[in-house]
Amino acid sequence: MSGSFKYGVSLYSYTDDFGTVMGLEDAFYHVAEASATGIEILGEAHVEGYPEPSSAWLDRWFSLVEKYRLEPTNYACWIDTDIQKRRDIGVEEAAAQLTLDLNLAKRLGFKFIRPKFGVIDDELTPHPVWEGATERVLDLAAKLDISIIPEIHAPTPIRHPVVEAYIDFIQRTGTRHFGLLIDTGIFQDRPLPSWQHETPEMRELRSGAMSFLDGIKVPVEQLAEVIDYTPFIQAKFHHIDEDLHDHNIPWEKVVPMLKSLGYTGYLSSEYEGVRDPWVAIEQVRRQHALIRKLEREYDQQHAAPAAVEA
């Protein structure tokens, strides 16, 4: 048996609960109780006082990490490219934002940051400042030993110029501190009945720009083409029923593929479904139960045959 997955939870899963029925310690508790070992946060959501948390808050953060024995995994941040209605930021401003988040992520003990750059089209092509800004902070990332991992997120598939540009960047710079974060939403193969960010205008475009909500159905085999550049996976999902059946993401294909590719990084839950109070807590637990079950089954099928007794 090769290595196993690491299990984490992004606090994004608890959106709308956080701040209304859930505080930071509650969130740590629920992640730890799901037997996860990693915690992922959004800097500009879960760090009180972002971008300059107080020393009291920092003390609290470290005490929670220790009390619940959770490893800070990925720290999500945003590069707000069209920062004003009629002004886009330049490379310098974008690099300054990345610098700020790299330093804060390091302070909190994270190993990865996921920058979400603004985009310029329906296929989520990042704003052109991404490349120059990222290159400027590569030395800092190396010094802090943090990897910068933009996400590959529906409707962007694996075989796409956005992914090619990121891989070209890695090859050109030779950096070991830049990679891809795969969001498992790209494997969604059945439609979402609704999406929390969807407006009536978007709904009318289900046959056009918003058709990705029906699933872009990237074949899981294509993971082989990017797995070497993928140190972290966000396990996006929307609904898992009482029979541990996921209504949108084909885990029964995703898990064996990741196992066969030898992936041993994190699967960090990103629940993005119904936002009624406390639903996310149960949904995350179901997802972990489901993926752990599939991982066990794979391991059993691929275990070395037991020695036959004479």
Partner 1 sequence: MLERNHIQTSGFSNIGPEGNRTGFRVRLRQPNYRGTRVSLLEGIDVTVDGERYPSQENRFLIDGREYGHADLDTLIDVRWPVGTTVDVLIDKPGGLEPGVHLVETVVLYRHPYFPPQFRPVPVPDSRHATIVL
Q: Which residues bind partner 1 (CB under 8 A)?
A: 12, 15-16, 18-21, 23, 42, 44-46, 48-50, 78-85, 116-122, 124, 127, 197, 199, 201-202, 209, 277
Q: Which residues pair with 118 in a beta bridge?
A: none
Min CB(81)–partner 1 separation in Å: 5
d(CA 103, CA 97) in angstroms, rounded, equals 10
Min CB(37)–partner 1 separation in Å: 24
The residue among 119 and 244 lying less far from partner 1, judged by its C-beta, is 119
Min CB(42)–partner 1 separation in Å: 5
Min CB(83)–partner 1 separation in Å: 6
Other Cβ atoms closer than 10 A to 1: 10
DSSP 90-127: -HHHHHHHHHHHHHHHHHHT-SEEEEEE-BSSTT-PBP
Choosing from 153, 177, 238, 239, the catalytic residue is 153
The residue among 33 and 44 lying less far from partner 1, judged by its C-beta, is 44
Do residues 291 and 235 touch, judged by C-beta distance below 8 A?
Answer: yes
Q: Is 153 in the active site?
A: yes
d(CA 187, CA 44) in angstroms, rounded, equals 28
The residue among 261 and 279 lying less far from partner 1, judged by its C-beta, is 279
According to DSSP H, which parts of the chain are helical? 24-33, 43-46, 55-67, 91-108, 129-144, 161-173, 200-203, 251-260, 279-301
d(CA 68, CA 63) in angstroms, rounded, equals 9
Other Cβ atoms closer than 10 A to 243: 7
Residue 256 exposed, middle or buried by CB count within 10 Å (0-12, 13-18, 19+): middle
Min CB(221)–partner 1 separation in Å: 28
Q: Which residues pair with 8 in a beta bridge?
A: 38, 268
The residue among 66 and 121 lying less far from partner 1, judged by its C-beta, is 121
Give per-residue burial for 143-158: e unless 16+ CB within 10 Å, then b.
Answer: ebebbbbbbbbbbbbb
Radius of gyration of the chain (CA): 20
The residue among 15 and 37 lying less far from partner 1, judged by its C-beta, is 15
The residue among 21 and 165 lying less far from partner 1, judged by its C-beta, is 21
The residue among 186 and 227 lying less far from partner 1, judged by its C-beta, is 186
Min CB(1)–partner 1 separation in Å: 38
Min CB(63)–partner 1 separation in Å: 20
Task: Please confirm whether the linkage preceding 51 is cis (ω < 30° from 0).
Answer: yes
Phi, psi of 147 (to 5 degrees): -95, 135
Catalogue the active-site residues.
153
